[in-house]
Structure 1
Amino acid sequence: MLPLFDFAGELETEPFVFEDEIKSNESLSLEALRTVSTARRDMRSTRGEIRDPAKASERTRACEAYVPLIESLCSKKDNLQISNRSGGLKFKWSSPLEGGDVMYKLKGLDRALEQERGMAWMLLAARIRDEAALAVDQCPRAPVGPERHDDDDAEATGRRHGGGVETPIGDKGAKRQGGEPDTHTPRSPGPVLGDAAPAVATTLRRAAGVYKHASTQVLPSLVPELDAERPNELLPSMAECMYCVCLAEAQAATARRAEERGTNGDLVAKLHLGAHDLYKRADAILNENIRDFNRISRKLQAYILLGASVHRARAYRCAAEEAFAASDIGEAIACCDAANKHLARGRDAAGESDRWQAAALEESEALMNLRKKYVTENEVVYFERVPDRPAKKLPEGKVIVSEIEHVPVVVEALGVE
């Protein structure tokens, strides 16, 4: 499992004081305007704590407090009176999903408020994602090296046929008979999620639900009045892409948990292919809507490509281990070669982040160590011919995660005493 894409959470905005820009009246009190300003200030003040795991939930709560308030203010937009001479409002936001350093100005009255609302929803989704990303970063990583593949042959040939897996959601840390945790250090590299897997997957599914709400309920009505230069966060197609990315990561956490539990290799391969399919869906959304964007973050594009490559390679790795367990050593080596070809496709993309590059190198080293073991076995024991490509096709991907529907919080109407 890769380190999660955490650049979406770098969304920044400049200060804005509502009571300085909007006049209070009978339907909107000064106190109500101050309440919205305070919530926005609290939301913005946590931006410097983006890499602090202890503050992750606090950052999300600050955004959760602001979103329903800006929703309520938007419902009163027809009765707003502007204090400044321009007769409009002006918010400033960055766009990490575009990848540049530009601070975009959201100008006007009705449309500026609605766009502010859209950015608030996208920030909420990004901050929920950050919670999962930071949780994964806190997990220990599996060791990489030949020793990971030195288990005795009896274990290798008796690998858990017929095992099942459940989505980590709701998993309370099942125990094996004898009271030992249903987790072991997997042979493949990456974080060892353990008991954190259910929470990570749940958090990503929550983020997916918010992105879906934004893409279907919040952003579509903004499109007709968007300026030519606008943040990507205001585009429904980008929110839909991020929805798929969140589900792909939740699926990846599910597959990782299955590896840790020693689940049957064929089923683990299906889970990895499910993650691959979700990453490919995210990529297709960007390509199908390419005219929506002036620019797209190179990091986002690289992450999607790398995610698809790694999970398809993992599926071939599972197939290799299954073939080795069945003493089909030539097929096992061919599966390793196929896995390496898919890793090579994402090699350049990994260079967009030091952490991704390190993770990709771990994947490559672990795969080469596994292949070396199989080649040695073949040279000493089996003497099998290695085919140019695997004879057995990979199974169909199995997606077992879905978004957690976001139910918006409704606050009392601003200005009502």
Structure 2
Amino acid sequence: MYFELAMTLFLYGAMLRERALEVLSSDLVQSATCFRRAAGVYNYLAQKVLTNLNRSQEKQPEAMCRVSSIMSLVCLADAQAVTARKAEEDGKTSGLLAKLHYGITEFLIEAIDILQVVNKECKDISPRLLDFILSCKIIHELKSYKYLVRGLNNDGKIGVAIGVLRRTLANSKKVVPKEESWRLVFKQVFNDMTVLLQKHEHENEFVWREKVPRNEELPLPQGVKIVSIIPYEPQKWERTLVFKL
């Protein structure tokens, strides 16, 4: 019965995430809340339910604790992405936006690390999951650097901004999303930063004439994670079922 409960909750988490995506364009607060609730469901699965399965039941991805942990982290990253979008709309500072987007990157790095372990244990996980998480990581990392550069520009550090842009664009060329839809998003952000670099280089050549620091002298973004799971509370029928088991 634990297996059936686990599959039901896994589906419930997916439905909450789908709901979050549905309301994203109309209600950012509700969307973030749904993502956090989904993260709570997956966390509950990993911590309280899937640990009770026997080894034969753990073979499929949805029954693996680590997969639920990955999904919880992805949902938290989604929730923070919505929060960052709200912060952008509210006109928050470039420094805060850079930290929010890099915080998303940190959630996703943690998910990728777990997924790499899972892929050694289970061959049934679609490679599209890794590509999806990597794509999100790349895009939010680019956005964090974009806002970092904007902050440097506001502080009059044009040379440093140019160095950060050059390094970021060079590194970004090494990892491009495989999925066409994600490549389009990546290309848009990449092109925006390329235009920004050209603008800064032109201004620096004719106006500021600042020295561009070496890569090792350039600043790195600092991430903050400001979202957390909304803990899942088992329903009455679940508590009764577990008691009987």
Report the alpha carbon displacement of residue 265 of structure 1 after superposing the two structures with TM: 1.5
| SS of 2:27 mapped into structure 1 | helix
Aligned match of 2:212: 386
8 A contact 1:211–1:243 mirrored in 2: yes
Does 2:170 correspond to 1:344? no
Aligned match of 1:144: none
Report the alpha carbon displacement of residue 282 of structure 1 after superposing the two structures with TM: 0.4
- Select which of 14, 27, 30 maps to 1:126: 14
C-alpha distance in 2, partners of 1:386/1:285? 38
Report the alpha carbon displacement of residue 363 of structure 1 after superposing the two structures with TM: 0.8
| SS of 1:408 mapped into structure 2 | coil
Which amino acid is the alignment partner of residue 51 of structure 2?
A: P
Does 2:52 correspond to 1:217? no
C-alpha distance in 2, partners of 1:342/1:306? 14
Moved over 4 A (4+): none
Report the alpha carbon displacement of residue 395 of structure 1 after superposing the two structures with TM: 4.5
- Select which of 201, 204, 211 maps to 1:375: 201
Which amino acid is the alignment partner of residue 123 of structure 1?
A: L
User: Structure 2 matches for 1:48-197, cutoff 5 A?
Assistant: 74=1, 114-136=2-24, 139=25, 196-197=27-28
C-alpha distance in 1, partners of 2:151/2:51? 47
C-alpha distance in 2, partners of 1:271/1:330? 24
CA deviation vs aligned residue, 1:320-339 (integer Å, no higher than 9, x gap) = 11121122211111121233
Aligned match of 1:318: 147
User: Structure 2 matches for 1:239-318, cutoff 5 A?
Assistant: 239-318=68-147
Q: When you count helix as a share of all residues, which structure comes out higher?
A: 2
Does 2:230 correspond to 1:404? yes
User: Structure 2 matches for 1:31-46, cutoff 5 A?
Assistant: none
CA-based RMSD of the aligned residues comes to 2.2
C-alpha distance in 2, partners of 1:221/1:341? 47
CA deviation vs aligned residue, 1:349-381 (integer Å, no higher than 9, x gap) = x222x3212211111111112112212211221
C-alpha distance in 2, partners of 1:291/1:394? 32
| SS of 2:236 mapped into structure 1 | coil
8 A contact 1:334–1:389 mirrored in 2: yes
Which amino acid is the alignment partner of residue 118 of structure 1?
A: A
Flag the 1:308–1:342 CA change in 2: closer, same or farther, 3 A: farther
Structure 1 unaligned regions, length at least 5? 1-73, 75-113, 140-194
8 A contact 2:39–2:72 mirrored in 1: yes
Which amino acid is the alignment partner of residue 116 of structure 1?
A: E
- Select which of 187, 191, 194 maps to 1:361: 187
8 A contact 2:108–2:137 mirrored in 1: yes
C-alpha distance in 1, partners of 2:92/2:54? 46
Structure 2 unaligned regions, length at least 5? none
Flag the 1:390–1:133 CA change in 2: closer, same or farther, 3 A: farther
Report the alpha carbon displacement of residue 392 of structure 1 after superposing the two structures with TM: 4.2
Report the alpha carbon displacement of residue 224 of structure 1 after superposing the two structures with TM: 2.3
C-alpha distance in 2, partners of 1:134/1:341? 35
CA deviation vs aligned residue, 1:189-212 (integer Å, no higher than 9, x gap) = xxxxxx622122111001001101
Superposition TM-score, scaled by structure 2 size: 0.88
CA deviation vs aligned residue, 1:300-327 (integer Å, no higher than 9, x gap) = 1012212222222222211211121122
8 A contact 2:36–2:75 mirrored in 1: yes
C-alpha distance in 2, partners of 1:368/1:408? 49
Aligned match of 1:202: 33
Superposition TM-score, scaled by structure 1 size: 0.54
Q: Percent identity?
A: 31
